[in-house]
A and B are shown apart, each in its own frame.
Chain A
Amino acid sequence: MKRLLPTPFISIAIAVTWLLLWDSLAPGQLILAAVLAVAIPLVIGGMRGKPMRLRAPGAVLRLLWRVGVDILRGSIDVSQAILGRTSKVKPGFVWIRLDVTHDHAIAALAGIITLTPGTLSAELTEDRGHLLVHALDMGEAEALAHTIKARYESLLLEIFR
């Protein structure tokens, strides 16, 4: 099994993508999806990344919900910042020490930070210990860092245990 499906998550993603693309659940498509899900990771061989294991599906859903809400909420704030007087904006950087160590988790966190309006993950240190975040409206830097760690990183720690 491990040899056939070295990266199960990616295989699932492939199958789902395939079925979405055809917008169909016909038997033929299911077979093809399965074939591709097995074949593609094998074909790309050395180019595939480290296997990724998702635990705690509940945490995944919670994270998705939080991110979704934050995106919507943040968007409005950012819109105000853009539409308003730009000189009022008080931007700034903040380094966040990371507790997650898994590459996928770091990437997910960085992605979430960027997708959530108002913040942007600008750089990861070489040792992957710190993430540089740029905030459009700085407010309290410590609070921002805390929010990020509490709202997202904790869930990610749960997921990428």
Chain B
Amino acid sequence: MLEALLALPFALALLIACMTKASRRTIAWTAAVAPLGGLAILGLITPRILDGETVRSTVEWVPAVGLDLILRVDGLGWMFGGLVLAIGALIVLYAAYYLDPRDSARRFFATLLMFMGAMLGLAISGNLLQLVVFWELTSISSFLLIGFWKHRHDARVGARMALAVTGGGGLALLGGVVLLGRIVGSYELDAILAAGELVRAHALYPAALVLILLGAFTKSAQFPFSFWLPHAMAAPTPVSAYLHSAAMVKAGVFLLARLHPTLAGSELFAILVVSTGAATFVISALFAIWQHDLKGLLAYSTLSHLGLITMLFGLSAPMAVVAGLFHMLNHATFKASLFMSAGIIDHETGTRDLRRLGGLRKLMPVTSALAMIATLSMAGVPLLNGFLSKEMFFTEAAAAGDGPISDHLLTLVATVGGVLSMAYSLRFLRDAFFGDAPRDVAINAHEPPRFMRVPVEILVAVCVLVGLLPAFTIGPILEAGARGVLGPDLPDYDLAIWHGFNLPLAMSIVSLVGGLLLYATLQRRTDIHAKQTPQVIKTAYEHVIHGLYRLSCWLTSRIENGSLQRMMVLLVVAVAVMALAPFVQGHALGAAQATQPLPLLGALLWVLIVAGALGTVLLHHQRMKAVIVIGAAGLGVSLAFVVLSAPDLALTQLLVEIATIALMLLAMNFLPQVAAREPRARRLRDALLALAGGSGVAVLTWAVLTRPLDTVAGEMLARALPQGGGTNVVNIILVDFRGFDTMGEITVFAIAGLLVHALLRTAKVSPERAWPDAMRLTIPQVVVQLLLPLAIAVAVYLFLRGHNEPGGGFIAGLVLAVPLLLQYVVIGLGRPNPRLAARVLAMIGIGLLLAVGTGAGAIAFGHPFLTSAHGHPALPLVGHVPLASVMIFDLGVFMVVAGTILLALLSLARAAHPETIAGVGDGDTR
């Protein structure tokens, strides 16, 4: 049943969101089902609640983190939920008439119901985390509701401000709740409410308290977070009436009530809550006097009353809690009706400016009468509900003698606040309903449609009824609510109008008379209409937000300046730090063992490599030279591989070297031939970094080289021939032991070729220099044409030999590709050949498929991927031929390598004439 209660608004919100074709009226009626249905369900459990029972229901959601959907209706939840639904029902009715035909009723009601559901969920949450969930949902939906008139700048600003403040508070609340849950060991409300002593004694209590209060204060717009509420008045009036008087802003004080048993009772709590409440109470009341906007005045008044309620919860005495809850209800009724009246006035006159309004009692007598009653209730005039709770407030303020805050001070604050409340109520009354007729507005103002006024009438009737007969009307509800907070501590109290002549009554009288005098004085001595209230905090907020934005931009642009050099420097520095750290921490570099003498060849290659590297650095501005010089370093590296027993590496490095030089020069034709020097300071810095990096690497390398090695490779050597079927162990590792690496490697290679092709196919690139007509190279041509077939034979040889001697698919692919490159260099590409690219692409694709297919073939035979098979079948004439499945794999490698290099080189060669190498898939892509 509770699930249905909670699900109803959300389900209807979803339904309304889908009702694209429905009329406004249908939508409004559908929306009304939510609060009415909810009230009906709530009514069903009312007897149990009034008996003091707590109704529970649990739906598991994320038990792993203690986040379950626990619905728990006790007196407080019942009271608050009922308030939310009852006011909600009236708002729906009111809004049905309020909304302009241009407004999207669908969007409005869907969001409104979502909000309603969130509020309801908040009220009946039995799990604090879940409460946070609904809490934030109210922030989100209120953001959408405040910004409902999205075309209005003030609405957008107001919505963002509300979200920033209340949403931020929600995050703080989350933090507080997590801490609370950590202290208690559970997020379930029952457990937390039962653990008050434990919580208050815990070291994390202050942090948790402050975080939770941040949540409550921001939501209830307590000082200094109050500024968002007046700006939220840009919302449509039903929203203001609902969110900003009855429901959302009450969430904060509701939370104070909800967690009262756990959090209250410490000095810290009292000081924080009372002082915040008191400050809000007085300052907002003072500001309210000078508001010229009807809704603005009501907003500040709301702040003031929320301050009052907050103060009451801060006082912590059981009776103060009762008073707080009572005022919560009363405030909801009179303030909601006032907002609705304000909406009617706005609706009919077209303005909410008190300076232009006046004499409305003549134009719309009924509405005026209703509003005036509500205003008097707000002012705390006897016989109305506002008087009763304010009287209780005065009592508690005056009686708070044993608290940390002096009761005299509180008495004074309460009285001053009362005086100010009276004063702004009077201003509201006089400026709106008395005096001259409205100025500069549409004067055909009259009573609103009948049913638009009904909600106001109901609410005002409640004000009067409760004011006259509190014990009969509100008594049981209040008691149930108070029992929900206080449980067995519920005090005896008397909801009578007359308690005899006592201090609170005196304070009331002082308030009313003082307010009257104050207003009269202000009215006579100053021009209220001319004064603008300072918006210190709002301005401060704007400064903060703007400053935050500026700070963010500044910080981000300073850090993310788009410089590759900075990225690289940071990378180098990071590595240096991380590599150095262990040795700074005291680890030894390790003991060196005896080293080998440097052979003559070693010294020679050292010179070659070092000269090549340094020469490249020195000549890097003149790029052509640098490319040639770097070739020497590459040659040195290749020869080092030769000397150090790595023939396969030497071959590969040599061939790659040749291809790299070709690639660089092909690309350099499109790049500047020279580069400017950079500033000296930067060069010096980089040189130092380079020196540090280089020496670091050298030391680490040396440290590894001079220690013993125990590697898995020994077993590879042992298994290579019997199980791998070949004698070139490097090749067997490549195609068998670590064939998976090779598969990835040719994938990389293939992608590189495809990418080069993709990048150059559609690009319009032009060389840096223009050249005269082509030249013929007769003599080289003859040689190259002779060389190519021979080189192919060599490639086949290297491919076949690879498993036993240096060679293999990769090297063979290079040996095929490089002479082809030479062919193109010397003879040229000839006529454009669109099918060339297609063939090369197919070569790459088939190569990849061959490699993967070999692997998959093993699976077909029930072996793991890439398991090799080899044998020596006898062929006629030829004899025993060593055949291995890895040869197919290697063939794939060969095809990918040759295809890719050709594709890359051809793409580059044809870069200036994309039409000649394009061809594949062009029909699709352009």
A residues at B contact (CB < 8 Å): 10, 13-14, 17-18, 21-22, 26-28, 31, 36, 40-41, 43-44, 46-49, 103-104, 106-107, 110-111, 121, 124, 126, 128
Contacts and interface: CB of A to CB of B under 8 A. Distances in A.
B789 A103 contact: no
Interface residues of B, number: 25
Contacts of B881: 28
B793 interface: yes
B790 A48 contact: no
A10 B779 contact: no
A90 to B, nearest CB: 26
27 contacts: A10-B789, A13-B786, A14-B789, A17-B790, A17-B794, A18-B796, A21-B793, A22-B797, A27-B877, A27-B878, A28-B879, A28-B881, A31-B878, A36-B792, A36-B796, A44-B789, A47-B785, A47-B827, A48-B785, A49-B785, A49-B786, A104-B782, A106-B779, A107-B778, A110-B779, A124-B779, A126-B776
B788 interface: yes
B790 A13 contact: yes
B790 A107 contact: no
Contacts of B793: 14, 17-18, 21, 36, 40
B755 interface: no
A14 B785 CA distance: 12
Nearest to A103: B782
A10 B797 contact: no
B669 interface: no
B266 interface: no
Contact of A10 (B778, B786, B827): B786
Interface of B: 776, 778-779, 781-783, 785-786, 788-790, 792-794, 796-797, 820, 823, 827, 830, 875, 877-879, 881
Contacts of A17: 790, 793-794
A16 to B, nearest CB: 9
B789 A18 contact: no
B525 to A, nearest CB: 106
B27 to A, nearest CB: 76
A47 B879 contact: no
B783 A107 contact: yes
* 7 A-B pairs closest in CB distance: A49-B785, A28-B878, A107-B782, A21-B797, A40-B789, A27-B877, A107-B779
A106 B778 contact: yes
B782 A49 contact: yes
B326 to A, nearest CB: 99
A111 B787 CA distance: 14
A43 B823 CA distance: 15
A41 B778 CA distance: 20
Nearest to A29: B878
A27 B782 contact: no
A149 to B, nearest CB: 17
A106 B820 CA distance: 23
A130 to B, nearest CB: 12
A41 B785 CA distance: 10
Nearest to B824: A47
A14 B778 contact: no
Given A17-B790, A107-B781, 8 more contacts: A14-B793, A28-B875, A28-B879, A28-B881, A44-B789, A46-B830, A47-B785, A48-B789
A9 to B, nearest CB: 9
Contacts of A14: 789-790, 792-793
Contacts of B792: 14, 36, 40, 43-44
Contacts of A103: 778, 781-782
B544 to A, nearest CB: 73
B213 to A, nearest CB: 84
A48 B781 CA distance: 10
B794 A21 contact: yes
Nearest to A121: B779
Contacts of A107: 778-779, 781-783
B789 A13 contact: yes
Contacts of B794: 17, 21
Interface centre among B789, B820, B823 (most CB of A within 10 A): B789
Contacts of A121: 779
Nearest to B782: A107
Interface centre among B788, B823, B875 (most CB of A within 10 A): B788
Contacts of A48: 785, 788-789
Contacts of A126: 776
